[in-house]
Amino acid sequence: MPNPIVYYEIGLADSLGKPILLFKQGDDTRKAEFGRTQYYEYDITDLAAGCSMLSDALTTWAADKDHLPFGSKALVDRG
């Protein structure tokens, strides 16, 4: 069942110009379009791989110079 609060939060972040990262279970068949927003799919039976993917995605995102105003520099400096 779709969660309307999530849609509200995504819309609010988009309208404020904030970057959005969406993660969903790979077997989730719900469809939604959020324009330029990229989905990262994980397998609930392999959470270690999902954790690694999340860490890689956040590190890559934080390294983008356009994201520095969002306080992401600390993610890159911890590397």
Q: What is the pLDDT of residues 32-68, one digit of tens each?
A: 666 666 778 888 899 899 889 888 888 887 777 776 6
In this prediction the pTM is 0.56
pLDDT digit string (tens) for 11-23? Answer: 888 888 877 878 8
C-alpha 26, offset from chain centre: 14
Q: In whole angstroms, give the CA distance from residue 27 to residue 43.
A: 8
The closest of 16, 56, 57, 52 to 39, measured between CA atoms, is 57
Answer whether residue 8 shows pLDDT above 60: yes
